[in-house]
Amino acid sequence: MISLMSVEVERKFVFSADTLKKLDEIGAVCVGQQQFQDQYFDTPQFNLTLRDMWLRKRKGCWELKCSMAELSRAKETGGEQFKAAALCTRYKEITNLPEIQLRVQEVIKDRDTETSPLLQDESWLSTMNLVCFADFTTVRRSFTLEEEGVQIDLDQADFGYQVGEVEVVVPQGGDMQSALERIDRTAQKLGLTGDKRVEGKMHVYLKRNHPEHYAKLLSERIL
C-alpha cells in the first residue's frame, strides 16, 4: 500500500498565565479554541502502547501515532543542537483507516483475526481485541507563529492537567532538521528554559487511572 505519512514533531512545555502574554509579545496569533474528546484503544495486554503505538478516536476520526526512532543517540552525543532535539518527540501519524487496521493487525497477528476487517462499523475493534483504556476531553487554544511556521497548543484536560506544545508537521521527505530548529527557536522566544521532557496528558492520565499500565510503559521506557 502506498501511503503518504507525515511526521509530527513536538516539544511539550509547562505553561502559566504568563505564557499568553509572551505569545502575544512574540507575535503568535490565536487561531481558535476547540474542545475534543480522545478515546484511546489497546489490547488488554497493551500490545500497541508497549510498542509505542497510540490508537485513538478524536472527533469521529481514527488516528494512529507510531514512534520514529527516538533521538537517543543524539542525547548521548551531547551538544546544544542535540539537547534541543532530545526535548522533542517524533511520531508518524496515520489517519487512513485501512492502513491503521493493517498496522494494528500486524502487531496483533498472533491472534486469529479476520483478513478483511469491516470498514463500515466498529466491529474491527472487538475482532482485534481492542478496548478503550483512556477517555478524556481537552480544551485546546491554538496559536501560530508564522515566522517559524510552528503551531503552539495550550491544552487543558478535563482531569485537571494542563500542558503546552510547540508542534511542526513534517510531510514525508520533508526537512526534519529545520523543524527541530524552528521548534527550538520558538521555545527560546517563549523563554522556555527547562531541559527536561514535560509529561504529556497521557502520562498523567495513566499514572492516575492505570498505575500498572503506567509502570509497565515506564519500565519499557516508552513513557
Number of residues that bind ligand V4E (CB under 6 A): 12
Residue 21 CB partners (closer than 8 Å, separation 6+): none
Segment 134 to 193, residues that bind ligand V4E, using CB under 6 A: 165, 167
Q: Is the separation of the CB atoms in 136 and 163 below 8 Å? A: no
DSSP 8-state assignment for residue 68: P
Q: Work out how close the CB of 163 gets to ligand V4E at its nearest, in angstroms, rounded to a whole number.
A: 8
| Span near ligand V4E by CB under 6 A; candidates 74-82, 101-109, 142-150, 200-208 | 200-208
- Which C-beta is closer to ligand V4E: that of 63 or that of 113? 63
214 binds ligand V4E (CB under 6 A): no
Segment 91 to 110, residues that bind ligand V4E, using CB under 6 A: 91
The only residue of 200, 204, 213, 214 in contact with ligand V4E, by rule CB under 6 A: 200
Residue pointed to by grid coordinates 503505538: 53
Of 11, 8, 34, the C-alpha closest to 189 is 11
Alpha carbon 118 to its chain's center: 27
Q: Work out how close the CB of 82 gets to ligand V4E at its nearest, in angstroms, rounded to a whole number.
A: 17
Q: Is the separation of the CB atoms in 58 and 37 below 8 Å? A: yes
Q: Work out how close the CB of 71 gets to ligand V4E at its nearest, in angstroms, rounded to a whole number.
A: 12
Q: What does the angle CA 113 – CA 116 – CA 122 come to, to the nearest 5 degrees?
A: 80
The only residue of 202, 204, 213, 214 in contact with ligand V4E, by rule CB under 6 A: 202
| Span near ligand V4E by CB under 6 A; candidates 77-85, 179-187, 194-202, 207-215 | 194-202
Rounded CA-CA distance 90/169 in Å is: 10
Q: Work out how close the CB of 5 gets to ligand V4E at its nearest, in angstroms, rounded to a whole number.
A: 14
- Which C-beta is closer to ligand V4E: that of 113 or that of 156? 156
Residue 23 CB partners (closer than 8 Å, separation 6+): 30, 143, 152, 190
The only residue of 13, 41, 54, 136 in contact with ligand V4E, by rule CB under 6 A: 54
Residue pointed to by grid coordinates 489490547: 43
- Which C-beta is closer to ligand V4E: that of 113 or that of 209? 209
Burial of 118 (0-12, 13-18, 19+ CB in 10 A): exposed
- Which C-beta is closer to ligand V4E: that of 71 or that of 223? 223
Residues lying near ligand V4E in the complex (CB under 6 A) are found at: 12, 54, 65, 89, 91, 165, 167, 197, 200-202, 223
